[in-house]
Amino acid sequence: MNEKLEKVIVLLNKADKDYVASEILLETDNDYNCDVICFHCQQCIEKSLKAFLMYHDTDFPKTHDLMPLLRLCFGIDSYFKNFNLSKFSNFGVEVRYDEIHITIDETRKAFETSKIVMDYVKDCIKFES
């Protein structure tokens, strides 16, 4: 396996860990963890997008803002235009430091979206080399 693919796999494994962490916290089924769950969902999406870009040899900015990453992704694959991620960028930084109220419904949506994005990226990558 080549070095680039190894790095892509590391990022996707980390994305999966963020997804699993959000899943475990969501199973507690209370509003207390919404900000932490959404942070992990944002991290899952961010790492997935960066893995996709890395796989396609595309440089990307060091950022937690999903929108520049998403624009780079749909420059490679127009299907990424189907993902509305504008709301999720705030979950990468602001929820860690500011008091932001996130509903359980918004949290579930972030959770579902993170899975969809991560799975799509995994489907796009050929793991054998």
Q: Which domain holds residue 84?
A: 3-124
Instruction: Render pLDDT for 41-90 as a digit per residue (tens, 0 to 9).
Output: 999 999 999 999 999 999 998 988 899 999 999 999 999 999 999 888 77
Total structural domains in the chain? 1
Residue 71 lies in a domain: yes
Smallest Cα–Cα separation from 117: which of 10, 12, 5, 36?
12
**CATH assignment of the domain containing 119:** 1.20.120.330
Residue 70 lies in a domain: yes
Residue 30 lies in a domain: yes
Residue 15 lies in a domain: yes
Question: Which pLDDT does position 95 carry in this prediction?
Answer: 58
- Kindly indicate the confidence band of residue 117, based on its pLDDT and cuts at 50, 70 and 90: very high
Query: What pTM did the predictor assign?
Result: 0.91
Residue 129 lies in a domain: no
Of residues 54 and 33, which shows the higher confidence score? 54
Residue 119, pLDDT above cutoff 80: yes
